[in-house]
Amino acid sequence: MKKSFSGLVTTLVLVASVTIATPSFAANKSGGSCTKANATTKIGGDKYICTKNPIVKNAKLTWVWDQCITANNDYAAAQKALNDSLAKATAELAKIDADIAKYTAQMAVNEAKAVAAETKAKDLQAKAAAKGITTVDKAFKVDIKRVMTTATGEAKATITATEVIALAAQWKTTVDKVAPMIQWLSADDLLIQADDFRAAGKTVDSLKAQRAKTVNFQTTMKNSATTSLQSTKSTRDQACKPGL
């Protein structure tokens, strides 16, 4: 009986020894729990890190394959890049919309100015036509402006009385026709002003075209980035699969 008890004790001691020794061989396994954050180990020849698995909800510290961490960082970077691009796109469109609103607001006021300029131009043209002037040769515009400058007492050195007489003879005109010519030239200037007033409308059209192109580009960019992000996420999820 005594011998039997002694044998039992020996057996229990051996079992206890095996039980205690077992953790030293099986403690580290993929997905297994660990206690020291960022500690590293080798499992099956691969590097593992003691951290929380990024795809596990309410994760605890476990041995995670280092490629999972790399893939997760790539996914996070891709997500940030997409978010930054979308924010930039939103800001860019907001600026274009603000410019469109600004120039649209100017259009109503400028259109009224353009119509007023056209109305005045037509009135001057009608008065000039009553004196037989319906057009003014482009080459004459420079000369007549020189005459006007001299007539107002400015830059008198630029033209002499002899040149004025020669100018009148050259164009077979009279002093009576100078005024209607000036009226016609003034009408031309007013019509140019009318076009300038309507420039805001042309700018709005240009901005709308720019906006359409921007939206198309941004949509293409977003779709491409989203597809890339999904691929990156799929790679991350596969690499971080618990127990891999």
**Which residue type is seen at 235?**
T
Which helix (DSSP H) or strand (DSSP E) does residue 229 occupy? helix 199-239
Q: How confident is the model at residue 146 (pLDDT cuts 50, 70, 90)?
A: low
Q: Are 218 and 89 in contact (CB under 8 A)?
A: yes
- Asked whether residue 166 carries a pLDDT value surpassing 80, the answer given is no
- Asked whether residue 233 carries a pLDDT value surpassing 70, the answer given is yes
Of 14-28, 142-156, 165-179, which has the strongest mean pLDDT?
165-179
Distance in angstroms (rounded) separating the CA atoms of residues 191 and 188: 5
Average pLDDT over the chain reads 79
Work out the average pLDDT over 2-9: 42
Q: How confident is the model at residue 97 (pLDDT cuts 50, 70, 90)?
A: very high
Distance in angstroms (rounded) separating the CA atoms of residues 235 and 76: 12
Work out the average pLDDT over 82-92: 90
Q: Please write the tens of the pLDDT for every residue from 213-228.
A: 989 988 998 899 999 9
Length of the chain: 244
